[in-house]
Amino acid sequence: MDKFCTAVVIIPTLNEASTIMDTIGDVIQHNPRCGIIVVDSYSTNGTAEKARASGAEVMNAPRGGKGVAVRHAISELHDNIDFKYLIMIDGDATYPAEYIPDIVSRLQNGADVVMGYRKVIEDGAMSPVNKFGNKVLSLLASMLYGKWVFDVCTGMWGFRKEVIDGFRLTSKGFTFEADLFANAVEAGCKIKQIPISYRARPCGSMAKLKVSDGFKIGWFLIKRRFVC
């Protein structure tokens, strides 16, 4: 990757060998000028090798959760690559990369943070329990932080570089998106939310989020608001 990219797309992964090639291909198709970095937490099923073969750079990140991996990537990028906008998208092929140009456009036109909220959900993409839990968590986040959020758990985000560099991120695992939202609100960021579609996982890909993680996200939102 060039030392300067207008936008860098980071894709955090852990054992996503069945979907990473499709994810990278989708990003390249819709965003050929973006730098693509797969942030891999030492997958054991060939995810990193497939990512390299698909044209992405691979950055090894410590294990410990999604938050640990992305925080490591942000630190490394800050020191080694000059860019204006950072895009984060999950590596499970559920978030269409066709929305990335819209995210970059919103950032170019004054937004500090852009969130893609899952408005159109493909059949089978999310269980009824997860849909309900996401609505509850989004409502909780809205009430706690005084900023209405449609989808606090979304895996598609965009940031201005100077904004993400200033965040005080502490989350290690699946509370990471809640951490991003809390930081954005507390920093007074101009947050834009755009509707996106959400695909079902391809065969062979397993969801990692459990019901217990929903309780952890809720507690993180409360603790961050009143304790930290």
**Interstrand relation of 35-40 and 57-60 (parallel, antiparallel or unpaired):** parallel
pLDDT at position 208: 60
- Tens digits of per-residue pLDDT, 152-164? 999 999 999 999 9
Write out the CATH class of domain 4-226: alpha beta
Which of 72-76, 126-130, 137-141, 198-202 tops mean pLDDT? 137-141
Q: Which residues contact 3 (CB under 8 A, 6 or more apart)?
A: 80, 81, 82
Give the pLDDT of residue 20: 96
Q: How far apart are CA 168 and CA 146, in angstroms?
A: 19
Give the other-Cβ count within 10 Å of 75's Cβ: 11
pTM here is 0.92
The 10s digit of each residue's pLDDT in 151-207 is: 999 999 999 999 999 999 999 888 999 999 999 999 999 999 999 999 998 765 555
Whole-angstrom distance, CA of residue 101 vs CA of residue 106? 9
pLDDT at 207: 58
- Residue 173 confidence (pLDDT): 86
pLDDT band at 117 (very low <50, low <70, confident <90, very high): very high
Tell me what pLDDT residue 6 has.
Answer: 87
Strand arrangement of the beta sheet that strand 4-13 belongs to? 57-60, 35-40, 4-13, 82-89, 156-160, 113-121, 191-198
Please, what is the average pLDDT of the chain?
A: 92
Domain spans in the chain, listed from the N-terminal domain onward:
4-226
SS3 state at 157: strand
Checking if the pLDDT of 1 tops 80, the result is no
Could you give phi then psi for residue 114, rounded to 5 degrees? -125, 130
The share of the chain scoring above pLDDT 70, in percent, equals 94
Confidence at residue 2, expressed as pLDDT on a 0 to 100 scale: 52
DSSP labels, 72-103 = HHHHHHHHH-EEEEEEEE-SSS-S-GGGHHHH
- Distance between CA atoms of 161 and 164, rounded to whole angstroms? 5
Summarised one tens digit per residue, pLDDT across range 18-62 is: 999 999 999 999 988 899 999 999 999 999 999 999 999 999 998
The whole-number pLDDT of residue 42 equals 92
